[in-house]
Amino acid sequence: MVEEGEPAPDFTVPLAGGDAYNDLEQFTLSDALGDGPIVLAFFPAAFTGGCTEEMCTFRDSMADFEALDAQVYGISVDLPFAQNVWMQEHDLQFPMLSDWDHEVIHQYDVVLEEMYGSIEAAERSVFVLDAEGTVAYRWVRDDENPEFETFIDDVRDVVVDVVDETV
C-alpha cells in the first residue's frame, strides 16, 4: 500500500490527450516529476455518472490547479481510445492515463475488485505527489462518493500546502 511520505511508484502507460480518437503518447510518471505537484485521480470507468461528475468538477477547477503549476491526470483501466472519446464528449482539458493492464491500480493498491459484480477497476482515489514524487496526500473512497466540489477544493488546498512547502 502506498502511504503518505513514501515515494510514488513509477509507471509507464498510454496517455490520452483528448484531441482525437487516436491522440495517444506514452507517459512515464518519473519524466513528469520536477515541474510542480502532480494529482493522480483514479476513477472506476469512463462514461459512468459518478466518474463523469468527478472529472467534470476537476475540469471546472483546472485554472486553480494550473495557477499552482500542478499537473492533473485522470487514471482508469479504460482503453485510451475510449478515454479520448469520453474526454471529447465532456470537454475534459486534462490528460487521462490508461491503466488498461491494471498494473498501476495494483501498485497503488486501489483495486475495486468487483465493479458491477464482475470486473476489476480502479477504486475512486486521489494521490497528490510533490515535485520529487513523494506522496503528500492519499485518499481512497471507503463509502459513498464525496461531494465533488468540496472534495476537489480540499485536493486543491493540499496542492497549495505542497507548493508552500517547496517555496
The angle, 0 to 180 degrees and rounded to 10, between the axes of the packed helices 148-166 and 49-60 is: 50
In a domain, 93, yes or no: yes
Instruction: Please check whether residue 2 lies inside any domain of the structure.
Output: no
CB 79 within 8 A of CB 45: no
DSSP annotation of 11 reads -
67 found inside a domain: yes
C-beta separation of 67 from 160 below 8 A: no
Print the domain residue range for 90.
Answer: 12-166
Cell numbers placing 160: 497549495
Catalytic status, residue 56? no
Residue 115: what pLDDT?
Answer: 63
Q: Is residue 4 part of a domain?
A: no
Sign of CA dihedral 79, 82, 86, 87: positive
> For residue 108, what is its C-alpha cell?
497503488
| E-state strands within 10-161 | 12-16, 24-28, 38-42, 71-76, 96-98, 111-115, 119-122, 125-129, 135-140
79 pLDDT exceeds 80? yes
With CA atoms as reference, report the closest residue to 43 among 125, 138, 114, 165.
Answer: 125
Give me the CATH number covering residue 62.
3.40.30.10
pLDDT for res 117: 62
- Reported as a single tens digit per residue, the pLDDT across 17-68 is 999 989 899 999 999 999 899 999 999 999 988 899 999 999 999 999 999 9
pLDDT in tens, 104-159: 999 999 998 776 566 789 999 999 999 999 999 999 988 887 888 899 999 998 89
**Does the residue 7 lie in any domain?**
no
The helix/strand/coil state of 130 is: coil
The one catalytic residue in 29, 51, 92, 155 is 51
What is the number of domains present in the chain? 1
Judge if pTM exceeds 0.75. yes
Asked if residue 46 belongs to a domain, the reply is yes
Give how far Cα 3 sits from Cα of 7, 9, 91, 110, 134, Å.
9, 11, 32, 12, 9
Residue 26, CB half-sphere, CA atoms under 13 Å: how many?
A: 5
